[in-house]
Amino acid sequence: MNWFKHVLVSAFVMSFPLSATANDMFFPDAEFDDTDIVPEVLTATRLKQPRAEVPGSMTVIDAKQIERWGVRTIPELMRFVPGMFVKHGSDDAVAYHASSPSLMRRMQVLIDGRSVYRAGLASVGWDDIPVALEDIQRIEVFRGPNAATYGANAFMATINIVTFHPADTLGSRAYVRKGHQGTRDYFASHSGQAGETLYRLTAVSKEDDGFDGSEDDGPGDTYHDATRDRFVSLNLTNTLSDRTMLLTEAAYKSGRKQLPQASAEPEAPNEENDSGFLYSRLNHEFSVNHSMQLQAYWQTESRRATRKNCGPSVTLSSELYALYDQDPYWADVVGRTIPGALMSQDSSPEAYAQAQALVQGIALGAVTPGQVEAAIEDATERDFDISQADLDQAQQIFINAFNGSDFSNLAEVVCGEYDVDMKEQRVDVEWQDTMQWSDSLRSVAGLSYRRDQVESETYFNGVVSSDLFRIFANTEWHITERLIANVGGMYENEDTNDAVFSPRVALNLLVKPQQSLRLVYSTSVRSPDLLEKSPDYSIEVAELTDNYLGLDKALYYAHQQGRFGQLEHEKITSVELGYYARLPARDIAFDVKLYKDHLYQLISNPLNLQTPVTNSDTTLNIKGVDWQVTWTPVREHSFWWSGAYVDTEVRLGDTSFLTPDEIGRLQDVETRLSAEYSNNLSWTFDPGSWQITQSYFWHNAYNRDRTNPKHYRRYELHWHKAWPVKGVSINTDVFWHHLIDDNYITYSNEVYSQTDLGYLQVGINF
């Protein structure tokens, strides 16, 4: 970079006193190189670009804004981003426009260049990210597919979190926060300088009780979803020379998470987790026009949970396990539907009698496949094709359960426990090179290698891994002074998936220096994760209670080996037309995006053992408008307004094996979290010595409920005041949120019993 050059020039200039006024006459001009300037210049393409020249839609949330809103978690910040939908509380689900709320798997999340998107079970666990909101300098949300820059899984959006340089947080900070829902947060951080090294050490403990709901929507907080997370993080920034910088980050986190209790579980399970990472990045400037970046990181994550469960003993029979391989739906009937009916003698005598007759008929060989098919199709509403071989296998299972007088063993309940432990590791090395070829042409290109490894007896029967190689490039070309083209793409080769190439082409027309019209065509993919691609998913239940099979431990009949179904990459193609403008005179900036997204080969089914067959065959068409406006009419007042109109159309693939109820749920799952219209308005009043921010969220027609529109309205208030006392600043914060509509967003147990919630915070900076 030219820093070196101009620093040399400056050194010469300043040692020569004439320079102060005359240097420009004595020395040739060294032009300033803006790639060292970070601010509003964005990383959409890995090239720092002024807002108006970015090939896509961006929302930038900086530290000042985070401080204004006063929320506790990253998902709560995402609520202010146009088109982003967030479940209540600190849950994991954040979706852009539309997506399944159960896993956050269609967005890439990066922390200082490190991906926290999990490989084993494609998802992002917000609670597991060891970064304090107070350490975040800014969050850049790229709204749209961005695989051209960040690769697979930068699918619908990319959230890029950049933490503060330790020089910007020099000193010490600490606070205590207490509030409703068992909120107890502690934060302490110290930044300092030792020689040429600047460092920051942050320790955080964060916990809350989650929602108030319960499994049966009863009163009190019986919904088992409390979390407690503790971490320490370290940032070391070394300036090795004028041209070389080394950043090292590391963190260790330990957490405890309550897992919601399933109906057959005698007690609610808990998960213990540990995670850590080590990250290093070297930036070097060869010259004014040429720089490179080399980064490498290792991260590991371990989750441990033991679940207790009770169910019909027959589900542990080895014959049923074998039957599941041949026909999982028929195995479900034999192992769950029939035993379930046999247990319901009192509640549903008719079903009981039918099941009795069916069992006896099959055991004695007295019924035909046609009769059985008719009976079970009637009971389950699912289409079956029952053969004599199917009946023979069921007959064997039933005869084994015969106790000499009846088949009551089929209704016998056994309890046991199993673990769902998982350990994930990732190593990633990436090199990128940035080159300014001429005044109008620059490019960034790079290579990376990543290895993901997951160890789990339950999900993979051991260790599985995947290796990923990537090559990427992006070129920015100022065709004319006002027309800019960005062309880029990434080629990825993963051993567990097909190779893919994701291109992007964008044109920005600068109407004025800070106003532009953009037309973007982009594509992206989400790679099926290791569980989707190579499951060896079976549950070994141990510590069994007495059972007619005489087992101490056994495999649960439902399992997945090889693959869940025909799973391809999920794909998206997106066309967007956008307009960005900043009018400095009024300090107003706005961005409008009109888009049409076509998502196909989506895997909409949840991956679990209740879903024997999963296909990547859902199609989702989304079109609509996103808008965002920021306005500071006078210093004391600032406004943030964002919103979206989302129009979705879901087309399911093969549903021939599904029941009407399952089809209905599948139809809804991709849009459960989406509102047709959403508006988020925030107003900050900052007279200088204190600050108050009020936000209002208004979301219409949630959860696909367009015929009977369900609203979600929420009001937030954050008041902040700092009291300077002899070089120390005492900070006080009050945060309050009021649910105007207390509708749940996605699932009925995700509710608060009170409509007013808040916290108090006291802290110190010195």
Using CB under 8 A, list all residues that contact another protein: 3, 6-11, 13-14, 16-26, 29-34, 36-41, 48, 50-51, 62, 137, 165, 167-171, 193, 198, 239, 242, 513-514, 582, 584, 634-635
- Using the 8-state DSSP alphabet, how is residue 723 labeled? E
- CA 357/CA 351 separation, integer angstroms: 10
Start-to-end CA span in the chain (Å): 35
Task: Tell me the closest approach of the beta carbon of residue 196 to another protein, in angstroms.
Answer: 10
Taking the least distance from each CB to another protein, the nearer of 586 and 706 is 586
Report, in Å, the least distance between residue 26 CB and another protein.
7
* Least Å from the CB of residue 21 to another protein: 5
Residues with Cβ within 8 Å of residue 140, at least 6 apart in sequence: 42, 43, 44, 58, 59, 60, 159, 160, 162
Alpha carbon of 547 to those of 208, 400, 410, 413, 765: distances in Å?
40, 12, 10, 8, 62
**What pairing do the DSSP bridges indicate for beta strands 84-86 and 157-163?**
unpaired
- Smallest gap from residue 514 Cβ to another protein (A): 6
Closest separation between CB of residue 134 and another protein, Å? 13
CA distances, 290 to each of 1, 29, 462, 475 (Å) = 6, 19, 45, 14
Query: What is the closest distance, in whole angstroms, from the C-beta atom of residue 25 to another protein in the complex?
Result: 4
Place of tokens 């879903």: 611
- Nearer to another protein by Cβ, of 193 and 387: the residue is 193
Of 471, 464, 524, 525, residue with least CA distance to 493? 471
State the Cα–Cα distance between residues 55 and 322, nearest whole angstrom: 54
- How near is the Cβ of 175 to another protein at its closest, in Å? 17
Our CB check for another protein shows the closer of 50 and 312 to be 50
The smaller minimum CB distance to another protein, of residues 24 and 498, is found at 24
Structure tokens of 604? 């909409």
**Residue for token pair 């925030």:** 682
**Residue whose C-alpha is closest to residue 598's, from 567, 570, 568:** 570
- Please say which residue, 246 or 305, places its beta carbon nearer to another protein: 246
Closer to another protein at the Cβ: 21 or 480? 21
194/263 with CB nearer another protein: 194
State the minimum distance, in angstroms, from the CB of residue 63 to another protein.
8
Residue 629 in tokens: 């406006």
CB of 77 to another protein, least distance (A): 19
Residue closer to another protein by CB (options 242, 498) is 242
Q: Is the CB of 563 or the CB of 635 nearer to another protein? A: 635
Provide the 10 A C-beta neighbour count for residue 168. 13
Min separation Cβ 723 and another protein, Å: 14
Query: Quick one: 196 or 654, whose CB is closer to another protein?
Result: 196
Whichever of 165 and 304 has its CB closer to another protein, that residue is 165
| CB closer to another protein, 39 vs 687 | 39
Q: How far apart are CA 307 and CA 261, in angstroms?
A: 9
Closest approach of another protein to the CB of residue 167, in Å? 5
3-state secondary structure of 718: strand
Helix (H), strand (E) at residue 637: strand 637-651
For residue 468, what are the CA distances in angstroms to 125, 150, 253, 465? 22, 13, 26, 10
Element (H, E) at 303: strand 290-312
Residue 294 phi, psi (nearest 5): -125, 125
Q: Which is nearer to another protein, 30 or 730 (CB)?
A: 30
> By C-beta, is 14 or 353 nearer to another protein?
14
Return the residue matching tokens 């829902």: 181
C-alpha separations of 694 from 36, 73, 682, 717, 734 in Å: 35, 17, 6, 4, 12
Judged by beta carbon, residue 652 or residue 722, the one nearer another protein is 722
Name the residue with tokens 């420009």: 24
Minimum Å gap between C-beta 11 and another protein is 4
Q: Residue 523: what residue type?
A: T
For residue 717 the two structure tokens come to 């208030």
Compute the least distance from the CB of residue 100 to another protein, in Å: 36
Sign, CA dihedral 608-611-614-620, equals negative
Confirm if 553 and 543 have CB atoms less than 8 A apart: yes
8 A C-beta contact, residue 430 and residue 447: yes
Q: Is 300 or 632 the residue whose CB approaches another protein more closely?
A: 632
Q: Closer to another protein by CB, 48 or 518: give it.
A: 48
Q: From 647, 631, 649, select the one nearest 639 (Cα to Cα).
A: 631
Three-state SS at 356: helix
Residue 565 C-beta-side C-alpha neighbours within 13 Å: 22
Reduced to 3 states, what is the DSSP secondary structure of residue 533? Answer: helix
Q: How far is CA 230 from the centre of its chain?
A: 20
The 3-class secondary structure across 220-287, one letter per residue, is CCCCCCCEEEEEEEEEEEEEEECCEEEEEEEEEEEEEEECCCCCCCCCCCEEEEEEEEEEEEEEEEEE
Residue 67 or 457: the one with the smaller Cβ distance to another protein is 67
State whether the Cα torsion 385-391-392-397 is positive or negative. Answer: positive
